[in-house]
């Protein structure tokens, strides 16, 4: 009987892992897979995603016009989904609801006695009308799962992107790594660029090796620098960040993209951090050893991705600065939004 139960459990687990080794890794969220190893009490620790359903099941079949993604144009994790949606030609298949630029009471979210004030991203009707009339993202989470706030083991997490099912009125998934995989593969019947595969099986292992450098050292690495609460935690994060940046700078001297000559999801994951680097992270998160303009291979890479069809339309540098410098009042109490730097060098055609 125990053996039979074990076999059933194994089969159920295996059936959830569509797509081979890459999905085996994605059973855990990026935050869970690449935890901050710094033991300093001042080190930033990111919470994992909770909603992990996938398109292709009987409950959530691939359909055109059924799903929408909630994104902030400021959030790099959400930005991933906008880029994949554009590259695949899914603009008429997956709708988008944009948030405003601000996170309501972000500072209070880190204090257990005040975290009830945190509401997540705001909605601004002048930017985009939220279909339910919600003012803040926490309302959508509570709508999809009543009691969600109380269920969060630490600080409440109201993140984007969100893949939302308009038919069943619920959140399908809020893990960006999952969502970009689904946008790449599960809507090909409706995609204008179905032939484009950003996640080829032959490059799964290579992407995982890259992600193991890029996520903790660069994507989340800049946040670990910016939100460190002690000097020791900041210096640990800073050193790890620049180890990763130097490693990727050297790697990109060998070929145009991270896994060779073909663009993959790993490239999209890196680009969204690099496009924010000089206008935000260099100063705001104190990653200030080098600017992107001083890293020739990373700069060329960023220019190449930016000039792919549809990608430039997903980038809004002014909105990005409004969010970071306007929401992080613990890092920028004055709320002043910097006018610079000029990004003409960054947005020009690559050599």
Binding-site residues for glutathione, in ranges, read 175-176
Q: Is the dihedral of CA 308, 313, 314, 317 positive or negative?
A: positive
| Length of the chain measured in residues | 351
Choosing from 60, 67, 75, 306, the catalytic residue is 75
Cα 207 to chain centroid distance, Å, stands at 16
Residues whose CB falls within 8 Å of the CB of residue 218, separated by 6 or more in sequence, listed in order: 241, 244, 245, 248, 270, 273
Contact 137, 99 (CB under 8 A): yes
In the 8-state DSSP scheme, what is residue 198? S
DSSP-derived secondary structure for 41-97: TTS--PPPP--B--TTSSSS---TTSEEEEE-TT-HHHHHHHHHHHHHT-TTTSEEE
Residues whose CB falls within 8 Å of the CB of residue 295, separated by 6 or more in sequence, listed in order: 245, 249
Is 75 noted as a catalytic residue in this protein? yes
- Which residues define the annotated binding site? 175-176
Contact 227, 281 (CB under 8 A): no
Other CB atoms closer than 10 Å to residue 241's CB: what's the count?
23
Element (H, E) at 21: helix 21-25
Helix/strand/coil for 170: strand
Q: What residues are annotated to the active site?
A: 75, 223
């Amino acid at each position: 009987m125990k053996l039979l139960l074990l076999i059933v459990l194994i089969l159920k687990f295996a059936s959830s892992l569509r797509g081979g080794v890459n999905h085996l890794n994605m059973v855990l969220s990026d935050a869970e897979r690449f935890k901050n190893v710094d033991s300093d009490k001042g080190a930033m620790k990111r919470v994992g995603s909770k909603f992990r359903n996938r398109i292709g099941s009987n409950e959530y079949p691939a359909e055109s016009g059924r799903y929408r993604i909630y994104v902030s144009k400021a959030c790099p994790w959400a930005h991933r989904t906008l880029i994949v949606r554009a590259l695949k030609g899914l603009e008429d298949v997956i709708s988008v609801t944009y948030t405003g630029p601000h996170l309501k009471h972000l500072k209070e979210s880190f204090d257990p006695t005040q975290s009830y004030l945190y509401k997540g991203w705001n909605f601004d009707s002048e930017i985009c009308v939220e279909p339910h009339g919600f003012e803040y993202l926490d309302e959508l989470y509570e709508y999809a799962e009543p009691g969600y706030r109380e269920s969060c083991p630490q600080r409440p997490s109201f993140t984007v992107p969100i893949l939302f099912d308009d038919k069943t009125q619920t959140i399908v998934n809020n893990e960006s790594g999952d969502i970009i995989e689904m946008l790449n593969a599960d809507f090909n019947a409706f995609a204008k660029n179905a032939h484009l595969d950003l996640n080829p099986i032959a490059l799964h292992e290579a992407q995982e090796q890259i992600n193991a450098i890029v996520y903790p050292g660069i994507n989340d690495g800049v946040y670990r620098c910016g939100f460190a609460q002690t000097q020791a935690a900041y210096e640990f994060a800073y050193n790890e960040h620049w180890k990763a940046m130097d490693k990727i700078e050297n790697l990109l001297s060998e070929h145009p993209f991270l896994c060779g000559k073909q663009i993959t999801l790993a490239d999209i994951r890196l680009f969204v951090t690099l496009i924010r680097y000089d206008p935000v992270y260099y100063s705001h998160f104190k990653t200030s050893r080098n600017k992107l303009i001083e890293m020739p291979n990373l700069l060329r890479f960023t220019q190449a991705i930016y000039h792919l069809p549809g990608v430039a339309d997903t980038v809004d540098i002014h909105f990005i600065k409004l969010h970071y410098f306007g929401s992080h009042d613990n890092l920028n109490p004055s709320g002043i939004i910097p006018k610079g730097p000029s990004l003409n060098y960054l947005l020009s055609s690559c050599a």
